[in-house]
Amino acid sequence: MRIAHTMLRVKSMADSLDFYTNKLGLELRSHKELPGADADLAFVRDPKSGHEIELTYNHDGRDYDLGDAFGHIAFYVTSVDETFEEWRAKGVEFSLEPKTMKNGTRIAFAVDPTGYKLELIEAPDQA
């Protein structure tokens, strides 16, 4: 068994594609409209891990409540401070600026255009 992808419903496909590809550096694997489903699907891929995120935009105008059950998507980075500065310079918003946890782990939380949280974890050996 292997995890295939993680799906996120997005408020704007254009904003989400710009965010995940141009700002975060994920690769666009595919983008297509599903006329019968009245939706667009795009798959972005992390070139290092191979993990994919499916971005789904529904054309029917419905609004989504992110709820409080979903937490975040985590990214290992070589340096939280350097990634924070790089992403912030590209216009990425943060809900938590870099900080060191009691266990010594350095983290930060970014927010995508829909409101999903993305955790940065400083782990040079895993980045």
Which residue out of 52, 85, 119, 122 is catalytically annotated?
119
Which are the contacts of 88, defined by CB distance < 8 A and separation ≥ 6?
A: 94
Active site residue 119: yes
Which are the contacts of 19, defined by CB distance < 8 A and separation ≥ 6?
A: 92, 112, 113
Which are the contacts of 51, defined by CB distance < 8 A and separation ≥ 6?
A: 3, 5, 6, 45
Task: Count CA atoms within 13 Å of residue 42 on its CB side.
Answer: 20
What distance in Å separates the CA atoms of residue 31 and residue 17, rounded to the nearest whole number?
Answer: 9
**Distinct helix (H) and strand (E) counts, the chain:** 2, 8
Q: Which residues are catalytic?
A: 119
